[in-house]
């Protein structure tokens, strides 16, 4: 007797066809059919089930995984309530251009099959309406024959630049019913993700001429490193024309110890030509912000010419204002930097060859930028030593102590950079070192777990600089690392406060003349201070702390790393720091 094949088995066939390695989920009855197929029909091998304690963590893990390895995993959300739980993490994946595939479940859409009350309150006519304003595409296929096309389109849309999350919702009746007939699967090779968009060649030639003739050109970049190979092309371009690079760290875009990395300097204040590569908010880095009045003014010289190369206008939507303030530019180029930067490099070589008199100016500019880079790094080293013995320790001291241990390892930093002190003191030399800056509160531990999952089995030491307030949103995420044997070193960035907002209250108090001493109310994470080490041990982690003395950090880290390497357990070191 032939084995019965169910609708949910077809979904698993598609996940295997597209080589999806992991599926994160928090259990839910509306996808019990798919859950059974993943475990029994799929064998829980590929995709491997990653059991999560909250839907937000499940989506954030898929977000971190996609950032770390450039390919999607699947996150499965239970009907309306699971979707709403995961909605904030979906929004951040949208903001961060992460290709996350979210599978939902609903129904039964046939009202005659709904259980009283529970199936009714958990069912929406079109569930995608809840998140449609911040996904690239959503679908709710109603027949077996529609399912393969729907998944194949979702996969391609998620990975086509500009990348982003997609959502496909399956009726519980379809999942649990036998398939009416054999359903043909798509051919992934004939539905491949299209190659990157080149960009207009005439415009790229004009850009090359502007850069070759400029006296003080500057590169500003944010998301170029989403295609790691493009980092090498940017390095070549910068070295060819001695272009200082300001890295906004949406991804790893440029080695921070390169002599032309001028992040944190005043090169934009002197720029006559600015090449923006994959910058979402172009206005922000070109201006200074008065944090008390919320007013801005331009920091770049009047008359600076701007070349804007990217895909920003292709994913603009009306609901979220994430498209930022409209910035006037001199040369807009719609194109993918993965394809356009190598071509721009070729055009710049030709432009410089036609201008031999400029080559000496380029050499002089390289020497000047190298000297500025070295002076800036020296200044940071000196700043990091200030208040060196303070207790609690400074963030710079913590970054220094962690680096003292990590520089002997093949390491990966998941997100947070300790108020940028890691970027100032560590050597970020390879694209996999850091998939990009941290995002909002209640995202970082989930993203960190996804990054660690992507590197599981590589032997790399994955490190999460973990803010205290963020972990308290999703403390149960610690269980996931232990349960799924995901090696991760968590170093707490514990200032016992929601200090970013505390600073806002200080500014308001100053402007209004109210007592600054009251700014802590509703902001502290103290009285009692959370015992993060005790919390981690309760979930099976190795843990030490709290540590306030910087001298104790390095030995604790060495012990933690030894446990990770010998036992495969995650480890947490609770370090308490000053506010900045």
Please report, for the domain that includes residue 563, its CATH number: 3.40.50.970
Same domain? For 153 and 86 the reply is yes
Tokens linked to 192? 């491949």
What pLDDT is stored for residue 496 in this prediction? 85
Provide the 8-state DSSP code for 541. Answer: -
Closest among 84, 80, 102 to 93, alpha carbons compared: 102
CB atoms within 10 A of CB 263: 21
Q: How far apart are CA 509 and CA 291, in angstroms?
A: 13
pLDDT tens digits for range 195-250: 999 999 999 999 999 999 999 999 999 999 999 999 999 999 999 999 999 999 99
Question: Could you give the 3-state DSSP secondary structure of residue 476?
Answer: coil
Burial of residue 145, with CB atoms counted within 10 A of its CB: 0-12 exposed, 13-18 middle, 19 or more buried: middle
Chosen domain end from 371, 393, 421: 371
For residue 205, the Cα-to-chain-centroid distance in whole angstroms is: 32
Q: What is the pLDDT of residue 292?
A: 80
Domain end (from 191, 213, 235): 191
Same domain, 353 and 396: no
Q: Helix, strand, or coil here: 576?
A: strand
Six-digit token string for 361: 């100016």
- Any domain includes 377: no
Structure-block tokens of residue 323: 């498209």
Beta carbons of 335 and 199 less than 8 angstroms apart: yes
Query: Which regions of the chain are under pLDDT 70?
Result: 1-2, 42, 44, 580
pLDDT of residue 1: 41
The tens digit of pLDDT for each residue in 236-293 reads 999 999 999 999 999 999 999 999 999 999 999 999 999 999 999 999 999 998 888 8
Of 164, 191, 218, the last residue of a domain is 191
The answer to whether residues 271 and 244 belong to one domain is yes
CB count in 10 Å sphere of residue 357: 6
Q: Which domain holds residue 272?
A: 201-371
Could you tell me the two tokens for 496?
């016992």
Whether residues 237 and 330 fall in one domain: yes
Provide the domain count of the chain: 3
Q: Residue 183: its pLDDT value, please? A: 96
User: How many angstroms separate the CA atoms of 53 and 40, rounded?
Assistant: 22
Q: Are residues 184 and 208 in the same domain?
A: no
Within a domain: 34: yes
What's the helix, strand, coil split of the chain in %, to 5? 45, 15, 40
Token pair listed for 279: 């910058």
Encoded tokens for 437? 């800056």
- Record the tokens describing residue 427, joined without a space: 């050597």
Does some domain include residue 378? no
Q: Are residues 150 and 255 in the same domain?
A: no
User: What local confidence, expressed as pLDDT, does residue 474 receive?
Assistant: 94
φ and ψ at residue 332, rounded to 5 degrees: -85, 135
Tokens of 473: 């949103």
Q: Is residue 196 part of a domain?
A: no
């Amino acid at each position: 007797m032939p084995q019965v094949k169910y609708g949910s088995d077809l979904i698993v066939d598609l996940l295997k066809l597209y080589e999806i390695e992991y599926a994160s989920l928090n259990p839910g009855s509306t996808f019990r059919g798919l859950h059974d197929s993943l475990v029994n029909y799929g064998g829980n091998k590929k995709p491997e089930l990653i059991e999560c304690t909250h839907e937000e963590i499940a989506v954030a893990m898929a977000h971190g995984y996609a950032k770390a390895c450039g390919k999607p995993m699947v996150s499965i959300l239970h009907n309306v309530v699971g979707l709403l739980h995961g909605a904030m993490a979906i929004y951040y994946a949208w903001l961060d251009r992460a290709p996350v595939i979210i599978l939902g479940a609903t129904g039964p859409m046939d009202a005659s099959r709904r259980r009283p009350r529970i199936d009714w309150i958990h069912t929406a006519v079109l569930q995608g309406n809840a998140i449609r304003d911040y996904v690239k595409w959503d679908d709710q296929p109603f027949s077996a024959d529609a399912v393969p096309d729907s998944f194949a389109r979702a996969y391609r849309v998620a990975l086509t630049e500009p990348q982003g999350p997609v959502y496909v919702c399956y009726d519980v009746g379809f999942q649990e019913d036998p398939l009416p007939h054999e359903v043909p699967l798509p051919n992934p090779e004939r539905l491949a993700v299209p190659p990157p968009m080149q960009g207009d060649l005439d415009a790229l030639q004009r850009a090359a001429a502007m850069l070759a003739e400029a006296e003080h050109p500057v590169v500003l970049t944010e998301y170029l490193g989403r295609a790691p190979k493009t980092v090498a092309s940017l390095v070549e371009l910068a070295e060819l024309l001695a272009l200082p690079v300001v890295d906004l760290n949406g991804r790893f875009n440029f080695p921070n110890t390169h002599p032309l990395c001028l992040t944190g300097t005043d090169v934009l204040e002197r720029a006559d030509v600015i090449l923006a590569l994959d910058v979402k908010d172009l206005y922000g880095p070109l201006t200074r912000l008065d944090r008390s009045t919320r007013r801005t003014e331009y920091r770049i010289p009047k008359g600076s010419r701007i070349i804007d190369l990217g895909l920003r206008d292709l994913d603009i939507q009306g609901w979220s204002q994430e498209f930022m303030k409209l910035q006037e530019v001199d040369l807009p180029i719609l194109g993918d930097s993965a394809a356009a930067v190598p071509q721009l490099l070729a055009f710049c070589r030709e432009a410089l060859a036609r201008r031999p008199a400029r080559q000496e100016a380029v050499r002089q500019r390289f020497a000047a930028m190298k000297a500025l880079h070295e002076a800036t790094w020296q200044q940071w080293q000196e700043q990091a030593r200030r208040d060196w013995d303070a207790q609690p320790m400074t963030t710079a001291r913590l970054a220094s102590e962690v680096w003292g241990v990590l520089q002997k390892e093949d390491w990966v930093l998941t997100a947070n950079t300790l108020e940028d002190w890691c970027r100032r003191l560590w050597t970020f030399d390879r694209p996999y070192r850091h998939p990009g800056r941290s995002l909002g509160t209640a995202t970082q531990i989930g993203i960190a777990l996804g990054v660690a999952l992507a590197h599981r089995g590589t032997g790399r030491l994955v490190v999460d600089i973990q803010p205290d307030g963020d972990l308290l949103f999703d403390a149960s995420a610690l269980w996931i690392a232990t349960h799924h044997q995901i090696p991760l070193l968590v170093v707490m960035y514990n200032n016992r406060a929601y200090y970013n907002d505390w600073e806002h209250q200080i500014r308001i108090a100053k402007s209004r003349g109210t007592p600054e001493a009251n700014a802590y109310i509703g902001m502290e994470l103290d009285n009692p201070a959370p015992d993060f080490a005790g919390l981690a041990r309760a979930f099976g982690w190795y843990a030490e702390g709290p540590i306030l003395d910087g001298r104790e950090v390095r030995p604790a880290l060495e012990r933690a790393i030894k446990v990770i390497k010998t036992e495969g357990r995650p480890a947490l070191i609770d370090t308490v720091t000053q506010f900045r």
